[in-house]
Amino acid sequence: MKIRDFIYLDIERVRSFYSQLSEGLPTEQTTGIEHEVDASASVEGNFLFAKGKGGTDARYMRANTETRSLHDYLMELFINKLEEKRLLPRIPSENFDWVDDAFSDGQFVLVQGAIKIIDYKYFATSLGNIPSLYATIQKLASYSPNKNTTKPTNLSTVKADIDKMPIKDLNKFIEQNLLDSIKIRVYPYIHSLNQNFIAIANQQLFRQNPVSLINIYGHIIDANWYCLLQINKGNQHSVANLESDLFPLDIESAMENIFDQITNIGKLIQGVKFPSVGATPIAIFREI
């Protein structure tokens, strides 16, 4: 049996999907249990599921006493159910062609490959610290107990380059648009980097701090980790343009058009354009 070490897990989505795939009815299996199980509990695959009020199965309810082991096993059941129903293509695969029509909105894919993590909050903090970091380096470089030590001569050039950087503008832009976002790029084909998945992750769902992952592995984690993704693929036409042609422009419509333009800016920021494919991350894990 494979052991999965979860780095990221959206358990609420997993619970919802699994209950729907199971049609809301848990399948009970008892194998090799040597202890007595209370009538208000069930056993599946040697794993005990406690019952809530009214006999509700723990796989379909949220409780403060839930442990990660329960979440991990529920994820195992979910993956098995997707594979059983042939709803989980694996990428890369010899039988998978990377064409636009191969992806549909809401589709699940299990992707293995290199993962790039972009934590914008960490980036903004690092960006803001550049001037003070330079000042510290300058002080250290200017101090030397040995008078014969040659001091670096390119510090003035570095300072000039830093002064040219629009640090304040970049920080303001990140704070307004990206501060709580963690972008994930998944590259299943190392020799075809333009074929990749782009996802926005919820920082609260990481089991290991993204900054610590970046410090350990760097921005690109090339350790053949797995990502369970749900594809996001919308229509190519603009509904706003259709509405403006059908209805006279009033104040409310004008405000809506402005909102649409702001939304389009957000789409440009995310930068999802085929052959890149947008997705929502369900889980990130490594197999041991």
Nearest of 62, 53, 86 to residue 14 by alpha carbon:
62
User: Is there a cis peptide before residue 210, judged by omega within 30 degrees of 0?
Assistant: no
pLDDT in tens, 80-107: 999 999 999 999 998 889 999 999 999 9
Query: Distance between CA atoms of 266 and 254, rounded to whole angstroms?
Result: 19
Buried b / exposed e over 54-74, threshold 16 CB at 10 Å, is: eeebbbbeeeeeeeeebbbbb
CA 132 to chain centre: 31
Query: Distance between CA atoms of 7 and 281, rounded to whole angstroms?
Result: 11
Structure-block tokens of residue 110: 């299990």
- Whole-structure pTM value: 0.69
Segment among 6-15, 167-176, 247-256 with least mean pLDDT: 247-256
HSE value, Cβ hemisphere, 13 Å, CA-based, for 119: 18
Give me the residues paired with residue 8 across strands: 206, 284
CB 21 within 8 A of CB 30: no
pLDDT of 25 higher than 80: no
Structure-block tokens of residue 141: 């470089």
Helix H or strand E segment including 176: helix 167-177
pLDDT of 19 higher than 70: yes
- Collapsed DSSP state (helix, strand, coil) of residue 112: strand
pLDDT in tens, 30-74: 344 334 444 444 445 444 444 444 554 555 455 445 678 888 989
pLDDT in tens, 132-157: 777 777 677 666 566 555 555 566 66
Q: Output 267 or 6, whichever has higher pLDDT.
A: 6
